[in-house]
A and B are shown apart, each in its own frame.
Chain A
Amino acid sequence: MSDRLATGTSSLVGEVGRRPSRTLRSLLLSIAAVGAALALVPLWVGDSGVLMGVAVLGLAFACYTIGFNVIFGSTGQLFLSVGALAGIGGYGGAILADTVGLPVVVSIVLATLASGLTGGLLSFVAVRRSLGIIFTGIITLIFSLTFEALLLGLGNLTGGENGFFIESGANSFLRERIPPYYVMLALVLGFLLVHGLLRRSHVGWAWRALRDDEVTAELAGVDVARYRVYGALIGATMLGLAGATYAFTEGRVSPTTYGFAKVDVVVIVMLAFGGIGTLFGPILGAVTFTIVDEVLIGFGQLRLLVFGALILLLFLFLPQGVIPTVRNFIAKRWVSQAAASPD
């Protein structure tokens, strides 16, 4: 029966106010290490078209999760439009290439910009109307549902329920078995680098300040609104780029590819598992759940049940995610050892 004042999502986020402790060199080294490890994956599963497809999708989700991490983890905006923003990239790129006839690269760039601007706009509106975290979530959820409804309703443009096959780039290296993996891996590493550098910059400092205590941040001179919109712009751009690139590697787009249930829910769990606000949390989450999902494939509908059970367990026992929990554990051990040793 306590009278505690709660501070927003602090009890769920373990990274509030934590300065990244790495030097630039260690940042680059750790990203390179992750890249090297992931680069080896095709050595194991390169023979199977199906498994490579799963791996590419896994990397796409890693990209999505990094983007969501930038928006939610760094600036505290609950954007339930991850799938929709990626879908603007995917469908946008596909339509621009096939229907409008633009070159693939140009299509991807334009679609990415559209997605980024949409994300920025959503954030701008939310910030202007001072919508709290829940209402931002609701508005972005409505946006996602509207996007899905538009996909289904504007059948002539979007292929409706079935989507459509993308003809542009059909003969390019993007459709082969192995190269798409490295393309997506490049995106993942690039996103990690961008996020890592941002965290070390004044932007990252502003983000940490406004996550910690909005009022104090404003008093310290941080334009909270502006930095929130920056975060959304950058995160949404990542989502759009990943969505567009993935579409061209898959060769088709359909409403389920970017649906709320298929993307947003999974991304939230991946990030929560890895650790909201951590740099590598998204990678850990994406890898873990891609593997888990593959393992569960034989279970049919029970996959949903297991997924739900995992969500429950995760938020009941590991609300901060794996990386912060491990970090705290190590820190405590270190402190107690230092205290135990006579100096």
Chain B
Amino acid sequence: MLEVSGLSAGYEGNDVVKDIAFHIDPGEAVMIIGSNGAGKTTLFRSVIGLIAPSSGEVRFQGEDITGVPAQRVVRRGISFVPAERHLFPRMTVLENLSLGAYPKRPDLETMTLVMDLFPRLDERRKQTAGTMSGGEQQMLAVGRALMSNPSLIVLDEPTTGLAPKLAAEAYEALGVLRKRGLTVLVAEQQVPLAMAFTDRGYVLENGRIRTEGTSAKLAADPDVRRAYLGIA
């Protein structure tokens, strides 16, 4: 579904990620793990079109989307939930969600689905996004991303700053969506959660892919365990 090859990207002429290659098949859940500064965010931003890659290729469902600006990419069925969420702070939960469906009007069925997945949002329909707690904002960000009925959802560190219970709830919701056919790509620092949820993963270190494999294999890999699971 998503194929990335030879991708390099960065800021002001310096490449933060170099020669990245990975793929995602429909229905999979894939993780990208790596420590701070490894380049996960840069990678996602260049795939989704917020920054232009300096080289390489990105293909989605067979079509070349390399360097296509984000506002066009997200209309093809990919949604991105950035680490900073980028919600609309003075607009209500309802308005934020409705805009998720842009340019179409929000579809009642999808809205109901999102409200069922995140009951807290339903309670706070008219509350402005800026006044909500971190956890609620995260749910809203994911909900907004779902309003366009994407085939692939990309999440950058969705559980940062969330209490463990909320983090687990977030992944539960994603699990429900997976059963409905949603493909997921997630970058995580909280590696155990991601490992339980995903089928496969890639390890990003200093801007390059160091290791890849099924999540089970990575969980058993001693280097991975030492670096990311804190197990000596």
Contacts and interface: CB of A to CB of B under 8 A. Distances in A.
A3 B82 CA distance: 15
From DSSP, what is the main secondary structure of chain B's interface residues? loop
B52 interface: yes
Interface string B54-74: 000000000000010100000
A1 B52 contact: yes
B51 interface: yes
B50 interface: yes
A2 interface: yes
Interface in A85-105: none
Q: Which 8 A-B pairs have the closest CB atoms?
A: A3-B51, A1-B52, A1-B69, A3-B11, A4-B12, A3-B50, A2-B52, A2-B51
A103 to B, nearest CB: 59
Contacts of A4: 11-12
A329 B45 CA distance: 36
Contacts of A2: 11, 51-52
Interface in B1-32: 11-12
B222 to A, nearest CB: 37
A4 B12 CA distance: 6
B11, B67, B69, most chain A CB atoms within 10 A:
B11
Interface residues of B, number: 9
A3 B69 contact: no
Nearest to B69: A1
Contacts of A3: 11, 45, 50-51
Interface in B183-203: none
Nearest to B9: A3
Contacts of B52: 1-2
Nearest to A3: B51
A1 to B, nearest CB: 5
Interface in A1-27: 1-5
15 contacts: A1-B51, A1-B52, A1-B67, A1-B69, A2-B11, A2-B51, A2-B52, A3-B11, A3-B45, A3-B50, A3-B51, A4-B11, A4-B12, A5-B11, A5-B12
A117 to B, nearest CB: 42
Nearest to B68: A1
Contacts of A5: 11-12
A5 B51 CA distance: 12
A3 B44 CA distance: 14
A1 B48 CA distance: 13
A55 B12 CA distance: 46
Contacts of B49: 1
B128 to A, nearest CB: 26
A1, A2, A4, A5, most chain B CB atoms within 10 A:
A1
A1 B67 CA distance: 9
A12 B104 CA distance: 42
Contacts of B45: 3
Given A1-B69, A3-B50, A5-B12, 13 more contacts: A1-B49, A1-B51, A1-B52, A1-B67, A2-B11, A2-B51, A2-B52, A3-B11, A3-B45, A3-B51, A4-B11, A4-B12, A5-B11
Interface in B56-101: 67, 69
A87 B69 CA distance: 52
A4 B49 CA distance: 14
Interface string A30-64: 00000000000000000000000000000000000
B10 to A, nearest CB: 9
Contacts of A1: 49, 51-52, 67, 69
A1 B52 CA distance: 6
A310 to B, nearest CB: 32
Nearest to A1: B52
B46 to A, nearest CB: 9
Interface in B35-49: 45, 49
A3 B67 CA distance: 13
Interface string A72-83: 000000000000
Contacts of B51: 1-3
Nearest to A4: B12
A283 B31 CA distance: 61
A3 B54 CA distance: 12
Interface in A307-328: none
A5 B52 CA distance: 15
A7 B69 CA distance: 24
A109 B108 CA distance: 76
B217 to A, nearest CB: 35
A1 B49 CA distance: 9
A252 B50 CA distance: 60
Contacts of B50: 3
Nearest to B70: A1
A57 B158 CA distance: 64
Nearest to B42: A3
A6 to B, nearest CB: 11
Interface string B168-185: 000000000000000000
A180 to B, nearest CB: 51
A2 B52 CA distance: 7
Nearest to B11: A3
Contacts of B67: 1
B144 to A, nearest CB: 22
B68 to A, nearest CB: 9
